[in-house]
Structure 1
């Protein structure tokens, strides 16, 4: 399939490489199926961080099934495919009890949007953290997403700092960490993840400011095309920052409760 026929294929491939890399560092449990799907088990107690992801616009249910059946799945997990899932994938997910379907907007900010302007208010400082500071990063991110720290404990491992192209950031006000972000640069693509703001510092534009700083970092690294997977709530915020929704990621998981 050519790039013209699958214009978002490069992004899907970059995302697959990232989830494979994270799982490889966290647990060593990551592998590829014959049809290109990726199995990645981070060990985190959250479905979206464990599972099978197909970067193909036409995912093969047999490929997904072979990977899904190869794991004991002692942690929550998911099956993730691009776009609208077909019947065969939906049936395969249901066979494993993954009957909840969520859709995450894939949003892209193209190079023609240009380098974002420097912020008028420089009270918020966004800086990369060293591997030794990843414990701080993970703790702030957990607080920002209002979940127990063990949910994002994998990001506290200093070994994560060795992931090629991946940089972790904290946002600070007067030296106090109030938010986080992460970039994953692959060629001219800059994936943006883990943007969070502490509850007591919301509604001040910090999340948008962190995102713009990460976009600038991508430009500086030769990756002017930025992408991210947004929540429904975050979609209009990122749209105001020059991102546009170009596809949806369908995520099958077990019903909660």
Structure 2
């Protein structure tokens, strides 16, 4: 099957697998590339069965789902595009009846090198070893989520993982935002873009994103990808990303 986006989604599943392996050691990759990645965080989106295929195998998803429920953590099933009936039935059998979607956005090589932002833009720099706790605090505040979600998701062993770089954004000596880059060959995954509530609507999210893209291009990662929330889609579009497809997630009702 001609599926030019599969390498991108496969790279995404590989990042989820690597982070979960470091955080909890709980991850399984099936023969077809579908992964069960359990981060240990108390959030359904962060413990997931994820398929990189346009036509996922419902039997494989069922097999991996059987291992997700007993963890006692909220979890989800994620598939590309519009899920088929059998995949939907698997999700519903496990009580995952809340359906949401996220746009997969791609920034292709022909978008060029993003222009550096100036003026009041933040200084975006890689995380130092002694800034780990500050990063997690800023990330939690930026996503307006409990700190314990990110204590598990971003454990101390993660900084320094091959291909992964964490970023803090600073304005006047104060951290105002975060980001994470995951590089695999010519692919750059952009994650954890968060800006503190009091510093939003000033272009900081776009500045963090473009600086991560620039750094990735310098080491040969010419195609960037990310999964956006619907509300942030316009921010990434202004940085040269374009929506390529949707990711459908099944989770238990809140």
> Scaled by the length of structure 1, what TM-score is found?
0.95
Equivalent residue number for residue 65 of structure 2: 68
Q: 2:24 aligns with which of 1, 9, 27?
A: 27
Q: 2:47 aligns with which of 50, 65, 77?
A: 50
CA displacement at 1:51 relative to structure 2: 1.5
Distance in 1 separating the partners of 2:151 and 2:121? 29
Equivalent residue number for residue 233 of structure 1: 231
CA displacement at 1:124 relative to structure 2: 1.2
Gaps of 5+ in 1: none
Number of residue pairs the alignment of both structures matches: 253
Asked if the contact 1:167/1:182 (under 8 Å) is kept, the reply is yes
1:244 partnered with 2:242: yes
Asked if the contact 1:137/1:155 (under 8 Å) is kept, the reply is no
> Scaled by the length of structure 2, what TM-score is found?
0.96
Aligned structure 1 segments of 4 or more residues deviating by more than 4 angstroms: none
Distance in 2 separating the partners of 1:60 and 1:112? 34
User: What does 1:61-210 align with in structure 2 at a 5 Å threshold?
Assistant: 61-71=58-68, 72-121=70-119, 123-210=121-208
The DSSP-based 3-state class of the residue aligned with 2:78 is strand
The alignment yields a C-alpha RMSD, in angstroms, of 1.2
Gaps of 5+ in 2: none
CA displacement at 1:52 relative to structure 2: 0.4
1:172-205 C-alpha deviation (Å, 9 max, x unpaired): 0011100000010000011001100001111111
Distance in 1 separating the partners of 2:35 and 2:17? 7
Distance in 1 separating the partners of 2:142 and 2:25? 27
